[in-house]
A and B are shown apart, each in its own frame.
Chain A
């Protein structure tokens, strides 16, 4: 940033002088941005992105050293060679692979279930006529604002009664549906399916579920993929409820990280090795699906 600042104003001036004619042309195109970014904007954005990456880099960096590195006077700017030894200790301390597998199971199951149930309900609200559909949809939207997390005490009692405490079922079942998912699919399907298509299917003799299968499902695919991703991330990063209901022998990744911290709080290298290991899977997912997450947020103003 500091290096870019002296150059930037010069560049800006030259830029705006040079491109006056082009600017005018661009403005006539609808929706086109009228500002041409200079060095300042790129510099600031780069600083924001690096600011987001730095803590992750730091975590991997400290995780690759011995904890004693922190008490030295100069900070280590290059990775050390201790990452795998630390990783081995992490896996001895907490059931790391078990936790990873559990997180995959929980996130995948809930994401599939939310997508299926939300698409069904969203299709009904968006395209089918039935008595009470208006008030019921209002109810769904209203429940998005209800802090259901505050029902933890009775929910725990229910799970204890069912004998599910310590089991993944206790984490999965409460996350099988979300009001947000229903709302999201309703909004999307409303404009994605022409009514004529449904009528045509009915005329062709399709019953309701076949119409859903042949008309709705193909149209729902893009929104369903985004909903899947958001639900996956939400459940992967979730801590409060799994922490309460799961035991130390059968944790999800965030719960395993908590155990790691409790066991090794004096050894920051080990703790941050764990944090790095738990973050990598979602970073990989992000590289491949970040584009969809971006457009999902911009289309629907999603908030988990």
Chain B
């Protein structure tokens, strides 16, 4: 083999690795290594300034798990997450349904709902912090005008979670609506025709055709918002000027708690322990999501009439089994 063709063979064989290597090398250094090393830091006494101290095993974890502040931050994180994801998916689907109509100036409306996405969360939090201010805030003034009592948007835990969830929803609802819109446009139109022939009205069509066909997209959106939503930091950090998550930690989330331990109290060991716990929480919720998804998928498979007689019989048996189990439970 002459030199030239050998060089070309090398080129062909190794170039792909060269092209993918920047991603893998950089990801290993700035993504994977820090994540794994967090576990090591969590197993030590470790100060922001002084650096590595003694090996303490699980002591950081047991300390954190014994703190009331930790459990409150867990509660706040989950509460804000549920208050943001649920309404967001619901509204996004409704907005997508409206955008799916035969609109004039389509692009204008689509851009219109997406606009809040480009506003930085810090600015969003500052603006909504003003709107939800307990004294002289627009929301409370409006409530008083219509004869209701003002709400303690900062002093009350649930109210503060609603305020923070509103900030998240403000930024992401339109974005998710466009994802749902794309999925809606992929639904075969003859399904609607079929439903219309069967006498289904618009609402009925929406509930029995649109929503079930969107299920995979709903799962996708929920999973992606789980990963980001459980790490929420910007909005609760900026909701008031002290940034400590409220006078009594009523809206201190886990990431805020992590930050406070690490950079206010200089305790990197315990901050890392919180990071590991939060990681496990995200994995656990991911697994639950996955299991629900599979459950739904298999339930779907059973509901669609099995094509063969054997299949039908198997489905019948499964149904029978479920019944008898229910009876046994009684």
Contacts and interface: CB of A to CB of B under 8 A. Distances in A.
A48 B224 contact: no
Contacts of B107: 291, 294
Contacts of A130: 13, 16-17
A279 interface: yes
Nearest to A291: B107
Interface in B131-149: 131, 133, 136, 138, 141
B314 interface: no
Interface in B284-300: 286
A237 B111 contact: no
B58 interface: no
A14 interface: no
A85 B238 CA distance: 24
Contacts of A177: 22-23, 26-27
Contacts of B103: 37, 41-42, 45
A36 B101 contact: yes
Contacts of B258: 152
Interface centre among B17, B23, B95 (most CB of A within 10 A): B23
27 contacts: A27-B193, A35-B202, A37-B103, A45-B98, A45-B112, A49-B113, A62-B130, A117-B23, A123-B19, A124-B20, A125-B20, A130-B13, A147-B282, A148-B30, A151-B36, A153-B268, A153-B271, A154-B37, A173-B26, A208-B15, A262-B243, A265-B240, A275-B126, A283-B115, A283-B118, A293-B111, A293-B117
A282 B119 contact: yes
Interface string A117-157: 11011011100111001001000100101111111111111
Contact of B101 (A41, A174, A237, A244): A41
B35 A58 contact: no
A179 to B, nearest CB: 7
Nearest to A140: B23
A293 B22 contact: no
A213 interface: no
Nearest to A149: B231
Given A297-B114, A298-B182, A299-B182, A35 B102 contact: yes
B206 to A, nearest CB: 10
Interface in A35-55: 35-37, 41-42, 44-45, 48-49, 52-53, 55
A200 interface: no
Contacts of A290: 111, 114-115
B170 interface: yes
B234 interface: yes
Interface in B218-274: 220-221, 223-225, 227-228, 230-231, 233-234, 237-238, 240-241, 243, 255, 258-259, 262-263, 268, 271-272
A120 B15 CA distance: 10
Interface string B45-61: 00000000000000000
Contacts of B124: 55
Interface string A266-304: 001001101100110011011000110110011101011
Interface stretch (A2-10, A89-97, A218-226, A250-258): A250-258
Contacts of A253: 120
B8 interface: yes
B127 A33 contact: no
A163 interface: no
B279 A150 contact: yes
Given A44-B98, A52-B116, A257-B122, A151 B128 contact: no
Interface in B162-198: 170, 174-175, 178-179, 181-182, 185, 189, 192-193
A275 B233 CA distance: 18
Interface residues of B, number: 101
A102 interface: no
A71 to B, nearest CB: 5
B262 A152 contact: yes
Interface in B1-48: 8, 11-13, 15-17, 19-20, 22-24, 26-27, 29-38, 41
Given A147-B231, A150-B279, A155 B30 contact: yes
A48 B116 CA distance: 11
Interface residues of A, number: 99
A233 B241 contact: no
B115 A136 contact: no
B209 to A, nearest CB: 12
B275 interface: yes
Given A56-B119, A151-B35, A297-B114, 6 more contacts: A52-B170, A148-B30, A152-B34, A262-B243, A297-B182, A298-B178
Binding site secondary structure of chain A: helix
A239 B120 contact: yes
Given A150-B38, A153-B262, A272-B130, A33 B100 contact: yes
Interface centre among A52, A182, A285 (most CB of B within 10 A): A52
A187 interface: no
Nearest to A123: B19
A275 B30 CA distance: 31
A262 B272 CA distance: 27
B305 to A, nearest CB: 27
B231 A150 contact: yes
Interface centre among A48, A150, A155 (most CB of B within 10 A): A150
Contacts of B207: none
Contacts of A237: 118-122
A53 B174 CA distance: 12
A236 to B, nearest CB: 7
Contacts of B220: 301
Contacts of A153: 34, 38, 41, 262, 268, 271-272, 275
